[in-house]
Amino acid sequence: EAGVAQSPRYKIIEKRQSVAFWCNPISGHATLYWYQQILGQGPKLLIQFQNNGVVDDSQLPKDRFSAERLKGVDSTLKIQPAKLEDSAVYLCASSTGLGHKSEQYFGPGTRLTVT
Amino acid sequence: AQSVTQPDIHITVSEGASLELRCNYSYGATPYLFWYVQSPGQGLQLLLKYFSGDTLVQGIKGFEAEFKRSQSSFNLRKPSVHWSDAAEYFCAVGPLNSGNTPLVFGKGTRLSVIA
């Protein structure tokens, strides 16, 4: 079974530029998560989708971050414009359903460096 | 609010020695508890989880964890560490009765293994 795929793996941009990350979850997984992991910290949830609907985006900085999952499968996370403090690893995860009994499977992440 | 504390930022152990990684949580009731491992350049992998029942939980790769309600702790243990166990370990907590509330992660403990 293929795991969660993410691209690109690495990205370097200058502040005020825009960037987009892509995630392909495990086939059949209805729930998709985007996490931000700043160096030296644990992952922090940015947004959670159930199929193509948003379940939780309370920690998403909506003035610069956006995410979509139009067909309930792939998802993109965009930052526009980027700030220095956005430098982090962005992790995508998927699970079969809502609730913590549904194990989350994580992708390898995209490491973003903003200069 | 939920919180997770991993008091040790970095631990070094000799190969073959025993290991204990500490995790303390703050939550008003019994939560769901998790331990994840993150190898360099990889996403997070679930080692084990506690929902209810037996307070000693067995996981993958020879790891186990014990839930102690009186101490609000969920420490991870392994009797004999292998060099391949070198990685970052994250403890996480999720509320028992709300499937949509995101997991809260600790800041992680980096494990180094020496010969």
CA distances to A4, A103, B28, B39, B86 from A39, rounded to whole Å, are: 22, 24, 29, 14, 18
Q: What is the DSSP letter of A3?
A: -
**Max CA pair span of chain B:** 44
Chain A residues whose CB is inside 8 A of the B49 CB are: 100, 103
Long-range contacts of A46-49 (CB under 8 A, 24+ apart): A46/A77, A46/A90, A47/A77, A48/B100, A48/B102, A49/A75
Task: Provide DSSP, B97-108.
Answer: T-TTSPPEE---
Nearest CA in chain A to B98: A99
End-to-end CA distance of chain A: 37
Mean pLDDT of A3-28: 97
Residue A106: pLDDT band with limits 50, 70, 90: very high
CA dist B35 and B62 (Å) reads: 13
**Max CA pair span of chain A:** 40
Residue A48: pLDDT band with limits 50, 70, 90: very high
Mean pLDDT of B45-73: 94
pLDDT at B97: 60
Task: Provide DSSP, chain B.
Answer: --EEE---SEEEEETTS-EEE--EEE-SS--EEEEEEE-TT--EEEEEEE-SS-SEEE-GGG-EEEEEGGGTEEEEEESS--GGG-EEEEEEEE-TT-TTSPPEE---EEEEEE-
> B59 and chain A: CB distance < 8 Å anywhere?
no
Q: Are B104 and B2 in contact (CB under 8 A)?
A: yes
pLDDT at B72: 92
> B99 and chain A: CB distance < 8 Å anywhere?
yes
CA dist A26 and A30 (Å) reads: 9
Compute the half-sphere exposure of residue B80: CA atoms within 13 Å on the CB side of its CA: 1
Mean pLDDT of B97-104: 69
Q: Are A98 and A49 in contact (CB under 8 A)?
A: no
Mean pLDDT of B70-74: 93
Chain A residues whose CB is inside 8 A of the B46 CB are: 103-104
With pLDDT > 70 as the criterion, what percentage of chain A qualifies?
98
Q: Does pLDDT of B31 surpass 60?
A: yes
Chain A residues whose CB is inside 8 A of the B41 CB are: 108
Mean pLDDT of B6-18: 97
pLDDT tens for residues A71-83?
A: 889 999 999 999 9
